[in-house]
Structure 1
Amino acid sequence: MNAETDGTGGADGAQDPRRQFAEECRSARELYEGGPLTQTQLARMVRTSKSTISRVENCVGPVPAGLPPLLDQVFGTDGLFKRLYEEITAHAFPERYRRRIELETRAISISEWSPTVVPGLLQTPDYARALFREGNSRASEAELASRVSNRIARQEILANSTPPDFSVIVCESVIRRRVGSREVMQEQLSALLKHGTRPTTVLQVLPLDAGTHGLMDGPMSVLATSDGATVVYTEGIRSGAIIEEPADVRHLSRSYDVLTATALSRDASAQMIRKHMEAL
């Protein structure tokens, strides 16, 4: 998935999860069971700074990814702040992408095919920035920074204590095509190698000579959630679609399985990525 916005979401008042997060934080702090907490006291309890708490309560800047579960722990709010944070993350994207992002945060497994660029969940900040810059040459530095921040924030799901099973297949052209400078691309390929060593991640490369296959039309993700639902997400240049029809999901999932069998093994994929990285 490759389109993020500035994170405003266009919402107001109680419909804005960012504002609700701020109000809930302030309210929980002031109504704390042991007596009202100052921002300094709360900051100490959640291992952050007073200025961070102040920014969160005044809707200034993003909510740090590690803060919501700590607030839930301190206030005993049974996942309230975690749920609001997931809504904030989803609202950082155009409406047509939000359901995919919401499903992404709840997924127990994600299988992704990308024929053109490194998937957003694996991009480095500089790689993402180079893509955004090419996609909109008129974007301001602030806009670029916000979009990169939103994209990198999505990667928190792979770093938490219970990450989803994550399978990724990229076309060989993805690792061959230089995005940004030589240094940017080397850093990105190095990051891919590191991701490939994670026990919950399987990273494969589909060679250019692999021939035709059923997913040549574009990128695709298969997302399965703990409630047993499985959906497919497909994306165009300016559009994204969720596919839920069981027969279509089954067909596309099968196409992904065939692609998995056709792609290089994990070790051979890592060797190819390392070879291209060293050749830059």
Structure 2
Amino acid sequence: MPSRRVITGRSQEPRRRFAEELRSLRTEKGDSLRQLEVVLGWNASTFGKMEGGQSLGSPEIVEALDQHYGTTPMLLTLWELAVADPSQFKEQYRRYMVLEAEAISLWHYGGGTIHGLLQTPEYARELLAEGGLKGEELDQQIEARIGRRKVLEGDEAPPFRIILSEAVLRNSLRGCQEWRGQLEYLLEASEQPNVTLYVLPHGTGLHGLMDAPVTFLRLSDGRTVAYTENVVRGELVEETGKVEGLQRRYDGIRDLPLSPAESRTFILRILEVVPCEPST
């Protein structure tokens, strides 16, 4: 097998590099897309989309390809670079994504939707579709959003404190199983040592962030920036005075939520009344 370029986080186009590598490896081995389907079990069109740059696939598919080509862990490394590449996000979100990946701590209040770092693919699909995305662009943005989860993984993952309004947990997805999966993923994420999840129940009164979901990022240079977002747009707030104003609003609700243990129990009780059985 010919020598390959060094894999680094400085790749200018990691998504394209990943697709090119997939095509090159398959050509060298003499496989057709149909042969990959027979050997590995995923549809030939899935491999075609990955080689064409329309899809990144899942880590399970990429690990199987690594084993098939004897390249472990090269393809998975390229995949991780591709899903974390800020260039695949819409332009207005890219600077935030860079800062999110560099943050040394994060804290968030969500009044209407679940934070992107805690979304399942099904939740992300329905939410982004409501914002007007469709087709290939929708698929790419889902992959990009799910790839952001890497921020919360590993020994050096930053602490992440989340306060979710009860309304977030009542705004279910259209699909029962998909909604159950999202609630279960929230519980799973809350078990991570760096993630602390709080539920703000109905009846706690009016507060300054009722119409302003916000995420704060503490950066290594000591600055804190804020990000407000809805389904169709987001705004990165870096001006010190405006950030401090949002922080004061956040501080006003910090002591109102249920404790982490009570919050888990709250979500479990919601799961009990979801009208479908856990998937097997």
TM-score (norm 1): 0.70
Matched, 1:139 2:131: no
- Aligned partners of 1:131 and 1:179 also within 8 Å: no
1:204 Cα deviation from its structure 2 partner:
0.6
Matched, 1:274 2:268: yes
- Aligned partners of 1:204 and 1:266 also within 8 Å: yes
The residue aligned with 1:260 is 254
The residue aligned with 2:175 is 181
- Aligned partners of 1:121 and 1:151 also within 8 Å: yes
User: RMSD of the TM alignment (CA)?
Assistant: 3.7
The whole-number CA distance in structure 2 between the counterparts of 1:65 and 1:157 is: 16
- Pairwise mapping of residues 17-28 of structure 1 onto structure 2 (< 5 A)? 18-19=15-16
Instruction: Give, as a single letter, the amino acid of the residue that structure 2 aligns with 1:220.
Output: V
**Which stretch shifts more, 229-238 or 113-122?**
229-238
3-state DSSP of counterpart to 2:203: helix
Distance 1:125 1:258, change over 3 A: same
Distance 1:18 1:112, change over 3 A: same
The whole-number CA distance in structure 1 between the counterparts of 2:232 and 2:125 is: 18
The residue aligned with 1:238 is 232
Distance 1:162 1:231, change over 3 A: same
The residue aligned with 1:220 is 214
| Count of aligned residue pairs for this structure pair | 236
3-state DSSP of counterpart to 1:163: coil
Matched, 1:128 2:124: yes
State the Cα deviation string for residues 112-162 of structure 1 (Å, max 9, x = none).
1111111111011122222234444x823x444323211111111112332
1:187 Cα deviation from its structure 2 partner:
1.1
The whole-number CA distance in structure 1 between the counterparts of 2:268 and 2:185 is: 11
Matched, 1:106 2:102: yes
- Aligned partners of 2:110 and 2:213 also within 8 Å: yes
Percent identity of paired positions between Structure 1 and Structure 2: 36
Q: 1:117 aligns with which of 113, 118, 121?
A: 113
The residue aligned with 1:192 is 186
The whole-number CA distance in structure 2 between the counterparts of 1:279 and 1:225 is: 40
Give the unaligned 5+ runs of structure 1. 1-13, 26-38, 41-48, 50-54, 68-73, 76-80
Instruction: Give, as a single letter, the amino acid of the residue that structure 2 aligns with 1:248.
Output: K
Instruction: Give, as a single letter, the amino acid of the residue that structure 2 aligns with 1:178.
Output: S
- Aligned partners of 2:131 and 2:231 also within 8 Å: no
TM-score (norm 2): 0.70
Instruction: Give, as a single letter, the amino acid of the residue that structure 1 aligns with 2:102.
Output: R
The residue aligned with 2:162 is 168
Distance 1:97 1:60, change over 3 A: closer
Distance 1:207 1:230, change over 3 A: same
The whole-number CA distance in structure 1 between the counterparts of 2:214 and 2:151 is: 19
